[in-house]
Amino acid sequence: MGFKSVTMDHIAQEMGISKKTIYNYFKDKTELVKSVTFNVYASVTSVIGQIKKDSLDPISELYDIQLFIMKFLKGEKNSPLYQLQKYYPLIHAELEKKQFNFMIETTASSLKNGIKLGLFRKDINVDFISRLYFIGYKGTKNPIIFSTEKFEPNLLMQSYIEYHLRGIVTEKGLKKLNHFINN
């Protein structure tokens, strides 16, 4: 079910409460969608933050984050983000801005760490690569460009990460990358 087809009646029935109870907390469905969207966003970014703390290096980190995202979206046939964009464009725009800021900040941090660890080339422009990674990542999620009929999502994301990393790794980083590709 998508954003449009789920009604307040469906939500009330699923939760075993009355619609009136829902309206005590949310003035309308749009406010509910916004609240749920940003709650999910906060949960996802929190887990990603923990993955970043726990990862041994930026290459492992990218693969660990990919694994989490794939598990999180498992079984999702229709992209919730594209449904959100279609039916709640203002919420989508606000989410897009938050995602951009979060990804630029976390990617830049990972790139700097990778440079420090000797895994990424010293001559890369961190701001440029961070933005390029973001736009490429967003592109892989676009069903018009990468339909799930033609591109299996897990393989697509794995290929994108490999493509991204091959452009920035050092010899030491390439050894680490090859370890992930071959295992």
Fold assignment, 29-182: Tetracycline Repressor; domain 2 (1.10.357)
Return all residues near 171 (Cβ < 8 A) that are at least 6 apart: none
Q: How high is the pLDDT of residue 76?
A: 61
Residues, the chain, total?
183
Q: How high is the pLDDT of residue 1?
A: 58
Query: What global pTM score does this model have?
Result: 0.86
78: which 2 tokens? 């229709």
71: which 2 tokens? 């598990």
**Alpha-carbon 153 to chain mean position:** 13
3-state secondary structure 116-131: HCCCECCCCCHHHHHH
Per-residue pLDDT tens digits of the chain, which is 183 residues long? 577 788 899 999 999 999 999 999 999 999 999 999 999 999 999 999 999 999 999 999 999 998 898 888 775 655 677 789 899 999 999 999 999 999 999 999 999 999 999 999 999 999 999 999 999 998 998 888 999 899 998 899 999 999 999 999 999 999 999 988 887
For the chain, domain boundaries: 29-182
Q: How high is the pLDDT of residue 73?
A: 76
The answer to whether the beta carbons of residues 156 and 138 sit under 8 Å apart is no
130: which 2 tokens? 């961070």
